[in-house]
Amino acid sequence: MAQQVILNIYDLSPANEFIQPFGLGVYHTGVVIGGKEFTYAGGAGIFDHSPQQPGEQAKFRESVVVGSFDGNATALNDALHSLSKQFGPSGYNIMTQNCNHFSDALCRRLLQLSIPGYINRLANLGGCFTSCLPESLLAGAPSGSGEGGSGGSSGYQVIGGGARQVANSQPTSVFSGSGMALGGPSTMPSSSGASGSENLQDRRERTRQARLARLGAS
């Protein structure tokens, strides 16, 4: 029997109210199938929880029916296990591998359909500038807190291990050199300024003397 695959969308920032009309936003998502909501977080990997109960930081916005899954529980578990090799506990990256990337990958695996493009548009745009961002931001991620697991369990049900480790690269320094702070003291040599001032005074004095000479001649 086919089961609906539902995408639950949550706001992670009040700014969404202002930027959502422009097709942008900071969102969390989870995929609901068979009465469980599956999602992804740093430190936990893929896990499930009760639908629409992701935690206090995420405010529910809406549910979107993505499609119908004709497979059984074994097919679903196979899909989750396969994705766990990519979406492991230490593989989270806020720009390139976040919860929305997982939701999209799961929907593609089960239905050959993708999630709405606006959900991860901000991260995709930011991914173009990852070399300019600090590593602490790129590696930052929500983590499983061990609360609110599904099926009456006391913690999240982690589906996979075997994570793909994110490369530990150093952030790229875009600008280098000592520079000069705006509004700060000038680092230009003072001698050139003094020389310019003296030359100006000399010219003014010569002009004054020339005028006096013309007046005396008349």
58-82 pLDDT per residue, tens? 999 999 999 999 999 999 999 999 9
**CB neighbours of 131 closer than 8 A, spacing ≥ 6?**
171, 172, 174
Where do we find the tokens 């930052």?
Answer: 140
Predicted confidence at residue 211, as pLDDT, reads: 65
Predicted confidence at residue 55, as pLDDT, reads: 86
- Strand order of the sheet with strand 59-69? 59-69, 3-11, 27-33, 36-41, 45-49, 157-158
Is the pLDDT assigned to residue 33 strictly greater than 70?
yes
**CA–CA separation, 146 vs 169, rounded Å?**
30
Beta pairing partners, 63: 8
Structure tokens at 186: 């000038």
Active-site positions?
A: 28, 99
**CA–CA separation, 139 vs 110, rounded Å?**
28
Predicted confidence at residue 145, as pLDDT, reads: 43
Least trusted range by pLDDT, from 103-112, 174-183, 201-210: 174-183
pTM check: above 0.85: no
**CA–CA separation, 60 vs 55, rounded Å?**
10
pLDDT, greater one: 84 or 191: 84
**CA–CA separation, 218 vs 208, rounded Å?**
16
**CA–CA separation, 217 vs 25, rounded Å?**
81
pLDDT, greater one: 195 or 166: 195
